[in-house]
Amino acid sequence: MIDGETRAALAALLEHLKAQRVALSSLLADVGAIRHSLIEIGPEYRAVLERHRRKHIEEGRDLLCSDIEKLQEIIDKLNGG
């Protein structure tokens, strides 16, 4: 049985997750539309895209890994580990 405080925390978490999903979906639609528009504008776009993609992936890798590790620690604690 889930107590009231835990139920409220889970509900808040799921509301946050839902909001993130909506924002991510909207962002991905925009990114896809921009990408396809630029491809139509000119073929040299692909090389520019790859260069910027590599740069952004490299720049964000450490932060993403750190965030994922922190979340996994919390998940493990919640699962009794």
CA 39 to chain centre: 24
Boundaries of every domain in the chain: 1-41, 43-81
pTM value > 0.75 = no
Q: Give the model's pLDDT for residue 6.
A: 86
Q: What tens digit of pLDDT does each residue of 19-68 get?
A: 999 999 999 999 999 988 888 888 788 888 889 989 999 999 998 899 99
Q: What is the CA radius of gyration of the chain?
A: 19
CA 25 to chain centre: 10
Q: Give the model's pLDDT for residue 77.
A: 87
